[in-house]
């Protein structure tokens, strides 16, 4: 298997990170769509439905997922790394702002100040990254404590120690770390998107397939969740995902070019089977069975996809959710941008096709990899 070559410890770790969020995708997709549709309805009706109970109920479902997402992330993170989900959920709750939280209490008209920073606690500053790291840390801490705890008192004392020790570490170390990482990530993305514009869109799209090939794209899963948070810096509009979707379009275009130009029947069969799912956003069959083994075709697919990413950036495409790709992106793209999304994807197809057709087909290499038929 081509994919097995890239199954390294880092990729396995990132796969665990992705698994934490994959279980949440049904809720993230549905809540994102609810938020996007409700925003359109609110604007178009000038808030006429804001006081209607059923509309408020639907909006609450969209709000609830993102408001309490850190708890779910902490829960899944702890379980994925071998700990107790309930303890991980408590770790995640440290990233939720709630007026009833004792750390946010006002005593004698003064807020509680933290050591080191001498500033009040800001639970939302660490965001999902703090919840993710805290859930992982609680799991590792729990395993270490249980390893040395006598069975007689393990059930009672181990979770107590996890919460006391882990809570202090989460508050003083993990929260500031999560806040810092979140700021760095958004700064980098903002620079690529706002300062570099079309060039940034090209680079992000053209560089995405290599990340997918080695599994590093898994690291972007929590970032997409943060971008789709209505209370976040982007107001719930994910401007990164449409750009990255174009990478799959470039690969589909490369596959079509190979199919048209090659005479190798075995390769044609692989491409024929891979293109339909590739169009729908599942690019692994095409990548591991076709473009990656050939090398040059993989490179031309990357180069060609960048043109779609550049146009996606130029058109300021955004999605209100995540979890799907390819033409299924039409389901989550920002309302009113469907035609622009199709146009950008067609450019990605064309870019991958043209660059591959003229520079990415090596029949000798094809016959070497797939045999002559």
Domain count across the chain: 2
Is 205 a member of any domain? no
Is 328 a member of any domain? yes
Model pLDDT, residue 9: 75
Cα end-to-end span (Å), the chain: 21
Core vs surface per residue 135-166: b (16+ CB within 10 A) or e: bbbbbebbeebbeebeeeeeeeebbebbbeeb
Is 362 a member of any domain? yes
Is 199 a member of any domain? no
The parts of the chain modelled with pLDDT lower than 70 are 1-8, 10-11, 43, 214-216, 218-219, 373
Q: Are residues 171 and 250 in the same domain?
A: no
> Domain containing 287: what range?
218-370
Q: For the purposes of burial, counting CB atoms within 10 Å of the CB of 99, is it exposed (0-12), middle (13-18) or buried (19 or more)? A: exposed
pLDDT tens digits, 145-156: 999 999 999 999
Model pLDDT, residue 7: 55
- Indicate the pTM of the whole model: 0.72
Model pLDDT, residue 214: 64
- How many Å apart are CA 274 and CA 252, to the nearest integer? 9
Is 211 a member of any domain? no
Is 204 a member of any domain? no
Q: Are residues 17 and 110 in the same domain?
A: yes
Is 292 a member of any domain? yes
Going by their DSSP bridges, the two strands 110-111 and 106-107 should be labelled as antiparallel
- Which of these three, 174, 192, 210, is where a domain ends? 192
Q: Are residues 124 and 22 in the same domain?
A: yes
Q: Are residues 238 and 97 in the same domain?
A: no
- How many Å apart are CA 304 and CA 320, to the nearest integer? 26
Q: Are residues 187 and 293 in the same domain?
A: no
Q: Quickly tell me which residue has 């590739």 as its tokens.
A: 278
Q: Are residues 71 and 140 in the same domain?
A: yes
Query: What phi, psi does 298 have (nearest 5°)?
Result: -65, -45
Q: Are residues 182 and 275 in the same domain?
A: no
Q: Are residues 174 and 68 in the same domain?
A: yes
Model pLDDT, residue 243: 95
- How many Å apart are CA 370 and CA 361, to the nearest integer? 14
Q: Are residues 72 and 177 in the same domain?
A: yes
Model pLDDT, residue 287: 87
Q: Are residues 10 and 158 in the same domain?
A: yes
Q: Are residues 166 and 245 in the same domain?
A: no
Nearest-5° angle of CA 68, CA 44, CA 55? 45
């Amino acid at each position: 298997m081509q994919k097995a070559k890239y199954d390294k410890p880092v990729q396995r770790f990132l796969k665990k990170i992705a698994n934490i969020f994959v279980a949440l995708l049904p809720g993230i997709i549905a809540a994102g769509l609810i938020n996007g549709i409700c925003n359109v309805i609110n604007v178009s009706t000038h808030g006429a439905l804001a006081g209607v109970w059923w509309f408020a109920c639907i909006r609450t479902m969209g709000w609830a997922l993102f408001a309490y997402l850190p708890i779910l992330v902490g829960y899944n993170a702890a379980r994925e790394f071998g700990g107790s989900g309930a303890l991980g959920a408590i770790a995640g709750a440290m990233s939720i702002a709630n007026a009833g939280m004792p750390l946010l209490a006002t005593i004698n008209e003064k807020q509680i100040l933290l050591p080191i920073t001498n500033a009040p606690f800001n639970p939302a500053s660490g965001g999902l990254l703090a919840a993710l790291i805290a859930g992982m840390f609680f799991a590792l801490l729990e395993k270490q404590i249980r390893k040395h705890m006598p069975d007689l008192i393990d059930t009672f004392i181990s979770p107590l120690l996890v919460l006391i020790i882990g809570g202090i570490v989460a508050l003083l170390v993990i929260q500031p770390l999560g806040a810092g990482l979140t700021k760095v990530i958004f700064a980098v993305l903002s620079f690529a998107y706002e300062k570099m514009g079309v060039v940034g869109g090209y680079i992000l799209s053209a560089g995405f397939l290599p990340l997918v090939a080695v599994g590093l794209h898994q690291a972007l899963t929590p970032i997409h969740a943060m971008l789709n948070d209505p209370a976040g810096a982007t107001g719930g509009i994910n401007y990164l995902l449409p750009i990255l979707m174009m990478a799959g379009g470039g690969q589909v275009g490369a596959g079509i070019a190979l199919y048209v130009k090659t005479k190798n029947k075995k390769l044609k069969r692989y491409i024929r089977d891979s293109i339909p799912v590739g169009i729908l956003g599942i690019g692994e069959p095409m990548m591991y069975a076709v473009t990656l083994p050939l090398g040059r075709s993989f490179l031309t697919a990357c180069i060609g996809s960048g043109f779609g990413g550049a146009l996606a950036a130029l058109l300021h495409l955004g999605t209100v959710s995540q979890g799907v790709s390819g033409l299924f992106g039409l389901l989550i793209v920002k309302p009113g941008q469907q035609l622009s999304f199709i146009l950008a994807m067609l450019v990605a197809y064309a870019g991958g096709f043209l660059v591959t057709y003229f520079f990415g087909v090596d029949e000798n290499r094809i016959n070497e990899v797939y045999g002559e038929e």
